[in-house]
């Protein structure tokens, strides 16, 4: 069986690694923070990425952003990698960083898949993520079982970087929709409508969306939404902002007009500037309602 090294055991990486363990893969983990839950689930941690790379055939990264992935890849993974190893980056890092990663690894004989995910922390826990993959199709075919241990839907998106291209388009839309849902709740409250009543109608009507029924920004309406646990262990506003900026950069470079994407980016920036960057992005609802809980 393949031996997997997993780097980045945060809100997403931890449940993804735990699902690989549950499928019987030996998983060696590394994170700059202590992650006792990984060890409790049967994982083994290493003190250095060098040791992880020495033991693993497949290395998965789930890190915050492009600079972190490129830094870890260049100075720690690829510096010790062997020809024939596969590096799967599941982080959201944008197209240029992904293509740089593919090129850096090719120089070392290491195959890369850019394999960002969607489905949130709940999807990572349930193993129901959708994973969109860019890179060599034969390498992708060889990694299907590993990827299906973390997600339930795989989409091959094409050449190097295309997984990231799909992901930032998805997240730009998701970021806009989260704000649309939040504004509707703010308006409903201003009009004296109970949040539960609006939720009931919208969830059964044309505003139905992941942002409403899975990651509802209003606390107490959806049990496993990060808002219902005080906007913790979700998708941080800073990470949402990073993805919105990646989409805006791509839009500028490609000539796509993304007016609402631009406006949404500025709103998340204001929310982060208000000191809410570490909270789940549903906090935008509190920010828009003037409460900033």
Of 258, 260, 288, nearest to 276 by C-alpha is: 288
Residue pair 284/175 in contact by the 8 Å Cβ criterion:
no
Q: Is 167 a catalytic residue?
A: yes
Q: Which of 5, 15, 18, 31 binds ligand NAD (CB under 6 A)?
A: 31
Residue 7 binds ligand NAD (CB under 6 A): yes
Q: What are phi and psi of 4, to 5 degrees?
A: -110, 135
Q: Which of 54, 68, 104, 173 binds ligand NAD (CB under 6 A)?
A: 68
Options 11-19, 140-148, 154-162, 198-206: segment touching ligand NAD (CB under 6 A): 11-19
Options 142-150, 201-209, 216-224, 233-241: segment touching ligand NAD (CB under 6 A): 233-241
Number of H helices, E strands in the chain: 14, 9
Residue pair 164/134 in contact by the 8 Å Cβ criterion:
yes
Q: Which of 63, 88, 101, 216 binds ligand NAD (CB under 6 A)?
A: 63
Q: Tell me the C-alpha distance between 52 and 183, whole Å.
A: 46
Q: Which of 11, 58, 73, 157 binds ligand NAD (CB under 6 A)?
A: 11
Residue 33 binds ligand NAD (CB under 6 A): yes
The number of angstroms, rounded, from the C-alpha of 292 to the middle of its chain's C-alpha atoms is 24
- Is residue 41 classed as helix, strand or coil in its secondary structure? coil
The answer for residues whose C-beta is within 8 angstroms of residue 258's C-beta and 6 or more apart is 172, 247, 248, 251
Residue pair 148/170 in contact by the 8 Å Cβ criterion:
no
How many residues touch ligand NAD under the rule CB under 6 A: the total is: 27
**Which residues within the stretch 83-112 sit at the binding site for ligand NAD (CB under 6 A)?**
91-92
Residue 30 binds ligand NAD (CB under 6 A): yes
Residues lying near ligand NAD in the complex (CB under 6 A): 7-13, 30-33, 62-65, 68, 72, 91-92, 117-118, 120-121, 234-235, 239, 243
Catalytic residues, which ones? 167
């Amino acid at each position: 069986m393949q031996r997997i090294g997993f780097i980045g055991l945060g809100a997403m990486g931890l449940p993804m690694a735990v699902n690989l363990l549950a499928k019987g893969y030996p998983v060696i983990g590394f994170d700059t923070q202590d992650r006792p839950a990984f060890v409790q689930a049967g994982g083994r941690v290493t003190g250095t990425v060098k040791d992880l790379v020495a033991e693993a055939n497949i290395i998965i990264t789930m890190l915050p952003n492009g600079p972190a992935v490129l830094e870890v890849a260049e100075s720690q993974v690829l510096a010790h990698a062997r020809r024939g190893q596969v590096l799967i980056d599941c982080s959201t890092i944008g197209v240029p960083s992904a293509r740089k990663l593919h090129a850096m690894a090719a120089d070392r004989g290491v195959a890369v898949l850019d394999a960002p995910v969607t489905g949130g922390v709940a999807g990572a826990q349930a193993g129901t993520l959708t994973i969109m993959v860019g890179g060599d199709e034969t390498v992708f075919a060889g990694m299907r079982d590993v990827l299906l241990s973390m997600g339930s839907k795989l989409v091959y998106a094409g050449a190097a970087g295309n997984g990231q291209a799909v992901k930032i388009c998805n997240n730009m839309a998701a970021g806009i929709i989260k704000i649309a849902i939040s504004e509707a709740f703010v308006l409903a409250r201003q009009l004296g409508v109970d949040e539960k009543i609006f939720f009931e109608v919208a969830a059964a009507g044309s505003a139905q969306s992941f942002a409403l029924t899975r990651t509802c920004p209003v606390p107490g309406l959806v049990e496993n939404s990060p808002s219902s646990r005080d906007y913790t262990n979700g998708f941080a506003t800073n990470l949402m902002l990073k993805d919105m900026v990646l989409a805006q950069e791509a839009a500028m470079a490609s000539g796509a007009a993304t007016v609402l994407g631009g406006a949404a980016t500025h709103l998340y920036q204001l929310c982060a500037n208000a000191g809410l960057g570490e909270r789940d992005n549903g906090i935008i609802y509190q920010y828009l309602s003037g409460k900033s809980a």
